[in-house]
Amino acid sequence: MSEEKPVLVDVADGVMTLTLNRPGAKNAVNRAMAEAVAEAMDELDSNDDIRVAILTGAGGTFCAGMDLKAFVTGELPIVEGRGFAGFVEAPPQKPLIAAVEGFALAGGLETMISCDLVVAAENARFGIPEAKRGLAAAAGGLIRLPRQIPPRIAMEMALTGDFIDAERALQLGLINRTVPAGSALEGARELAASIAANGPLAVKLSKQVINESTDWTRDDMWQQQQAIVMPIFTSEDAIEGATAFAEKRAPNWKGK
């Protein structure tokens, strides 16, 4: 792959694939990469023909984190309003799947946990070793990771900087599934196809409820959910889904 573009973007069958394309630097995130990811995320959410996206890395590595060489020169891989890597503080509205080969470390892990689903190679490794470099996992490792795995395990990972393997990550629920080394992207595409086959409005709003409901109270959670999901039940897609089921055919979604 050429390193001329920091991110390669491909769209096929309703699935956008974003490939972090700095293999010589283990796909470390610099400013140019962050800006390219942010641009792709805008296209993902604005293009009705795209249902789901996959984020992966070139050269057998997902992402080794922030480009430290660029950091010491004063460059930060942050996009205003989007955060690190161009999206960790403002993930897309549509589903995003991480396809992980090799290492997802530091900002690479934080990028991974900003995705909705994770397919990882059996030999993948994960960690937030920022403390080993006198830094802190401030792109989500300290606040998002404890919400995805037991807080004591997140605490250990943050304070020691030690890595965990794919088997442990699967046990902890940090990733969805493991696949043989070299086939993470293939596995992610299978998962993406399953999502893309469903009603796009239902998928988008279901993701919204799951993400936002973590802050809801028992007193208002049903009302909050109702306000978001009601458009699903009054949509053209809902009628189409029921009709297609009765007629034993694949639905023709309109996303409305």
Distance between CA 66 and CA 36 in Å, rounded?
15
Select which of 75, 110, 186, 212 is catalytic. 110
Q: Do the beta carbons of residue 158 and residue 106 sit within 8 Å? A: no
Q: Do the beta carbons of residue 192 and residue 186 sit within 8 Å? A: no
Task: Reply yes or no on whether 130 is catalytic.
Answer: yes
What amino acid is encoded at 249 in this protein? R
Task: Reply yes or no on whether 39 is catalytic.
Answer: no
Select which of 3, 4, 130, 212 is catalytic. 130
φ/ψ of residue 104, rounded to 5: -125, 95
Active site residues: 110, 130
